Chain A
Amino acid sequence: MNKTVKIGLIVVLIGVVLGGSYALYLFNMPHRDIQGEDAKFKMEAETFVNEFIADGTASTTKYLNQVVEISGKVAEISEDLKKQKVVLLKTEKAGINCTFMESTNKSCASLKVGDIVKIKGVVNLGPSYDEDLEEAEYGVFEKCDVVK
């Protein structure tokens, strides 16, 4: 076997191993660790909601899928069907529903209605007035935890 063929084979082999590992990595890629990321925006719930009410499309482009730290007043603490705690930060025109996770649910234990709180999570939907619901639709923050 001459040198060129040998080098060629080695290159192909490295390519296959690298390509295969990358495919395997993608297939088993872990979910995003929202709490491990730094917040891209830090703001008051009122400001966040008002920005969305003023221009939903632009705000969706800006905030959707971003990690945001939001501060506001706790209006309600409930639980969804997956047993995740949901903290509502109510604002004048709508509100933000912050959904916690199994691993962060315990952070809600010391919270009570009326508390001023800072919560970090990922934005999955912006708040708006929905004409079909004939109702303010709250912003959806998920994978939340309280910022200490």
Chain B
Amino acid sequence: MKKLALILMIVLPAALFAQDKFITRNGHVDIYSHTVAEDIRANNDKVTATIVPSTGKMVFSIPVRSFEFPKALMQRHFNQKNFMSSKKYPKIKFKGFISNPTDVKWDTDGTYKVNVTGDLTIRDVTKKITETGTLIITGDKIIAHTKFTVKMIGDYGVGKPKSKKKKDNVADDIEVNYKGIYHVKK
């Protein structure tokens, strides 16, 4: 019995950590689109995201209306029907799994490169993407970083302006930069 208790004492903390779920409700994402006509940047600090170490599952939920643009007019256009249609589609979603989970030592502080494959859903259109990111494990929190490009944003139904003149105001590819500080879900 004593032996069992001893084994449990050694094994349990790591096992508990592996079963925990980590969450942030204030993740940051910024997007950048460059064309000859204009550069568009926007920031969003209201991302809810989770990491489950035991399965490698990562989910991001981004409220579309929380994107803030330097110009109010750009913000208005972004939310309109032909663009993000935020009343109909209030969230952007990513759901995926770490494809190299054994590279991450969840119970050891450190910086780990991860590959994540999953489904990105914008305006109810879902596409498979694979991106790389970094997980920094430090004490009881995880800091996640990623920088990638969403290719051919028009394929998600994000409307390009119909008039030929304005068509080139929005780039095909959107640069995305993400940072989130996750804590153990209580």
Contact = CB atoms under 8 A, between A and B. Distances in A.
How many of chain A's residues touch chain B, expressed as a range?
20 to 34
B90 interface: yes
Contacts of A60: 87, 90
Contacts, number: 83
Interface stretch (B69-77, B129-137, B150-158): B69-77
Contacts of A7: none
B66 A142 contact: yes
B175 interface: no
Interface residues of B, number: 31
Nearest to B91: A125
A126 B25 CA distance: 14
B48 A137 contact: yes
Main secondary structure of the interface of B (DSSP, over half): strand
Interface of A: 26-32, 60-61, 64-65, 78, 80-82, 84, 86, 97, 99, 124-126, 130, 132-135, 137-138, 140, 142
Contact of A27 (B66, B71, B93, B181): B71
B184 interface: no
Contacts of A137: 48, 61
Contact of A29 (B26, B46, B72, B79): B72
